[in-house]
Homo-oligomer: A and B are copies of this chain.
């Protein structure tokens, strides 16, 4: 689940969202978007969490700002962004950020 990102700098797109709990086809579309993102130039990985009350945070990692922008502009992704505003999300915030430092930890079993 933790993305294996390279040494910084690289780009993180932080997407915080609230969606209704209703089953509405979102799961399949989200899965398709993950598959599509993985084929894009500069895709480095992503981490995604959603809790039972509908709040979620997804962070996708990109080689640079151009790669993140190209993903935002992808035609199929743009259509899903529109669906998101019309159907899936009650609210969201998107932030594009340049990662400067990273550390990680794994417990010894």
Using a CB–CB cutoff of 8 Å, the interface residues on chain A facing chain B are: 1-3, 5, 8, 12, 14, 16, 18, 47, 49-52, 55-57, 59, 65, 85, 89-107
The SS class assigned to the A binding surface is strand
Counted per complex, copies of this chain come to: 2
Contacts of A12 in B (CB 8 A): 12, 14, 95, 97
Q: Can you list the 7 inter-chain pairs with the closest CB atoms, starting with the nearest?
A: A97-B97, A93-B104, A57-B57, A97-B99, A95-B102, A96-B101, A91-B106
Picked from B8, B97, B102, B104, the residue with its CB within 8 Å of the CB of A100 is B97
Contacts of A99 in B (CB 8 A): 14, 95-97
Of A47, A49, A85, A91, most buried by chain B (CB within 10 Å of CB) is A49
Picked from B50, B91, B93, the residue with its CB within 8 Å of the CB of A107 is B91
Q: Shortest distance in angstroms between A109's beta carbon and chain B's nearest beta carbon?
A: 9
Q: Shortest distance in angstroms between A103's beta carbon and chain B's nearest beta carbon?
A: 5
